[in-house]
Structure 1
Amino acid sequence: MLISLRSKQYHCSFISLILVILVVSLCLYLAAWQLQRAENKQQRLDYIEAMKNKGEFSWAKLNYLPATFNKTGLQLKTKGKFNTHKYWLLDNRTLNGRPGYDVITIFYPSNSSQALLVNFGWIAQGESRNNLPTIQLPNHEIAINVQLKQGDLAGFYLNGAQLSVQGWPKLIQFIDIKMQTKQSTQQLVDFIAYAIDKNPYAQPHYQNVVMPPEKHHAYALQWLLIGIAALGIFIFAVRSQNNNQTKSSDFNTQIPTGEVNDK
């Protein structure tokens, strides 16, 4: 295949040209995708920051919000009691490289007919996964300070992930409020709370986003540079090949082709 570049013509194979177009196109697509993810993360962080600026909500004030209002990022400070017999251990949670579980409890705000799921944080896994750790929850009224999240709570999980134990506590692979409402036979609100302050039950470690926008920007730049490098290598290879062919052709034309006289 013949390519014209700066009034010069270069030969290259059709297959190599298609391959480099595909590679560069894929790199540009991935760079644009990372930039879009960075923008989405930034919008989410801005929204959460705006919700935080609204100050702490009481349970009564929270109930005055419209049902369609996204409560993600709001901070709640209220009093209530635990269901000390029913709680979940969210599997495959790691903290500082150590395996463990997140402790998810049922919390009854004072003077409320509904219950709230509260993720109090991480606890370490025992020596054997067959023996789940037990949590001693208080049976008296306590005050909690939490941040709310509403919407997609399950996150990433494997298809077919199911409960692996019967009875309580229950080991779960993802958060599903409808499923947990059915399991606990309690009326749960459609959002979850994450502990902010230190507590004696678990270690809070909730992050609004796992990967900040800056990392997505870095990945976008990485893919862009890979695409540019692939294109540069292709151009260099084509030019080198054509230069070698030109030199070989020039050398062949300098060899004398006259007659040889044998006497």
Structure 2
Amino acid sequence: MAAVLTLAATVSLGRWQLSRAAQKEALQAEIDAQKNLPPIDQQAFLALDKATSALHRPVRLRGLWLAPHTVYLDNRQMHGVPGFYVLTPFAVEGSEQTVLVQRGWVQRNFNERAQLAPVDTPAGLVEVTGRIEPPPSHLLELGKAAPGAPAQPGAGSSPIRQNLDLEAFRAETGLPLRTDVSLQQAGPASEGLQRDWPAPALGVEKHYGYAFQWFGLATLVVFLYVWFQFIAPYRRARRLRRS
């Protein structure tokens, strides 16, 4: 009975992990399909009540870079090299909307952390092509103040940040910033920035690994049951007959 229950549990858990992997593969296929769609034009983007419905889809916008509000997100890597993600608000032409653009990655100065590499920010009206993405991901931040605690003097004034909360950044800058999404600029390296953005880590391999472990445990249960219920008694009986 114990073997049957353990076998049923391990096989069920293995199948559940396979189903989770299939769900994430379907999600990855959906993301890839969104990326291959034609770019949304500016009017369609501005008309989106919830841009999250168009996540990962290309979009083409025209407007102005708000360079004084550029932020450098620290401890971001590209090809295993630590550096910064460079984020600049972008005022969309003909509207009161501003969207935060993840413009690219720049390597950090290993001798002087606060010395930032030059990034070219064109003045005047420019056209930006990118993908609609969630707000920048957050890294673990030690020593962060508890929610609701008063801000420390000068907090948020440095262009180098560990994380960036769009609601707080909107209040800090006074910009009409969209807080539901950001724009991840696409294209080859330019303006001193690289744009080999890492793919979303969905963890499909992790689920296959867990499934392998559960099915391996189920196989071990079957082997042990056969050994102790059939093979071991048979060997003992043979020894007794010989003696």
Normalised to the residue count of structure 2, the TM-score between the two structures is 0.75
Contact kept? 1:28, 1:223, Cα under 8 Å: no
1:194 corresponds to 2:169: no
Cα distance in structure 1, aligned partners of 2:80 and 2:9: 37
Deviation at 1:127, TM superposition (A): 1.0
- Structure 1 gaps, min length 5: 4-13, 255-263
Contact kept? 1:48, 1:74, Cα under 8 Å: no
Deviation at 1:118, TM superposition (A): 0.7
Q: Among residues 171, 175, 179, which one is paired with 1:182 in the alignment?
A: 171
1:223 corresponds to 2:190: no
Q: Among residues 72, 77, 89, which one is paired with 1:89 in the alignment?
A: 72
* Cα-Cα RMSD: 3.5
Change (3 A) 1:197 1:212: farther
Secondary structure of the residue aligned to 2:70 is strand
Deviation at 1:40, TM superposition (A): 3.5
1:43 corresponds to 2:43: no
Matches within 5 A, 1:104-123: 104-123=87-106
Deviation at 1:187, TM superposition (A): 1.7
Q: Give the corresponding residue for 1:131.
A: 114
What amino acid is aligned across from residue 170 of structure 1 in structure 2?
Answer: I
Cα distance in structure 1, aligned partners of 2:111 and 2:10: 44
Change (3 A) 1:99 1:170: closer
What amino acid is aligned across from residue 171 of structure 2 in structure 1?
Answer: K
Deviation at 1:191, TM superposition (A): 0.9
Query: 1:89-144 CA distances to partner (integer Å, 9 max, x unpaired)?
Result: 22332222212221111111222222111112222222147425244333333221
Identity rate of aligned residues, in percent?
12
1:149 corresponds to 2:133: yes
Q: Which of 121-130 and 181-190 deviates more? A: 121-130
Secondary structure of the residue aligned to 1:194 is strand
Q: More strand by proportion, 1 or 2? A: 1
Aligned residue pairs, count = 231
Query: 1:188-217 CA distances to partner (integer Å, 9 max, x unpaired)?
Result: 11210111112223211234533475x467
Q: Among residues 190, 195, 204, which one is paired with 2:195 in the alignment?
A: 204
Q: Which has the larger radius of gyration?
A: 1
Deviation at 1:33, TM superposition (A): 2.9
Cα distance in structure 2, aligned partners of 1:146 and 1:116: 12
Change (3 A) 1:28 1:208: same
Cα distance in structure 2, aligned partners of 1:161 and 1:103: 23
Cα distance in structure 1, aligned partners of 2:10 and 2:70: 46
Contact kept? 2:60, 2:127, Cα under 8 Å: yes
1:21 corresponds to 2:21: no
What amino acid is aligned across from residue 87 of structure 2 in structure 1?
Answer: I
1:158 corresponds to 2:140: yes
Q: Among residues 231, 237, 240, which one is paired with 1:246 in the alignment?
A: 237
What amino acid is aligned across from residue 123 of structure 1 in structure 2?
Answer: V
Contact kept? 1:34, 1:216, Cα under 8 Å: no
Deviation at 1:49, TM superposition (A): 1.5
Normalised to the residue count of structure 1, the TM-score between the two structures is 0.70
Contact kept? 1:34, 1:219, Cα under 8 Å: no
Q: Give the corresponding residue for 2:151.
A: none
Change (3 A) 1:154 1:142: closer
Contact kept? 2:65, 2:122, Cα under 8 Å: yes
Cα distance in structure 1, aligned partners of 2:115 and 2:155: 10
Cα distance in structure 2, aligned partners of 1:132 and 1:70: 39
Cα distance in structure 2, aligned partners of 1:132 and 1:27: 55
- Structure 2 gaps, min length 5: 146-153
What amino acid is aligned across from residue 158 of structure 1 in structure 2?
Answer: L
